[in-house]
Structures are given as structure tokens and as C-alpha cells.
Amino acid sequence: MTQLDLNRVRQSIKNQIGSKIKISANRGRHKFVTAKGVITQTYPNIFLVELENTDGNDQNKTVSFSYQDVITRDVRMMLLEN
């Protein structure tokens, strides 16, 4: 992983703020959790995704991921059509 890779991923995600995505996160031991959400904010080391409400609560859940997780494929993202 180089600084160029990190900057490229960071800029790509920043350009997609407000976009709907499908995200899969590695939870260890070959288990992936998949959810749909919207990229809400980016910061120098992390980005935030507001997940769709699937459990019937009034509030959506916001989770954070690091850009390194995307590079190492611990987090996989796919853009969805709006």
C-alpha cells in the first residue's frame, strides 16, 4: 500500500458523498456483513456511512470505515443506482 493508493481511494470516496452503496465488511473468520447505505462524510482517515433502517427503529445507524480497510479489501463497496 502506497500513499498514492490511499489518496486515490480517499478522493474516489469523497467524490461519491451522498451516493447510495452496498457495503460488505469482514467480521473475521470468513464472515462478511452486508448492508445498504449512503456515504455521508469523509475525514482524513475514515469515512462515514449511514445504513438503511432494517430493524424498524426510527433512527438510522451510522458506521465508520477506514480507507485502509478498502485497500486491504476488508470492506468492499459497490455503487447502487439511485
Per-residue pLDDT tens digits of the chain, which is 82 residues long: 678 888 999 999 999 999 999 999 988 888 888 999 999 999 999 999 999 877 767 678 899 999 999 999 999 999 998 6
pLDDT of residue 60: 81
pLDDT number for residue 1: 62
Fold classification of 3-79 is SH3 type barrels. (2.30.30)
Parse the chain into domains and list their residue ranges.
3-79
Nine-digit cell string for 21: 452503496
pLDDT at 10: 93
Residues 6+ apart with CB under 8 A from 54: 35
Tell me what pLDDT residue 43 has. Answer: 96
Quote the pTM value.
0.84
**Distance between CA atoms of 66 and 22, rounded to whole angstroms?**
16
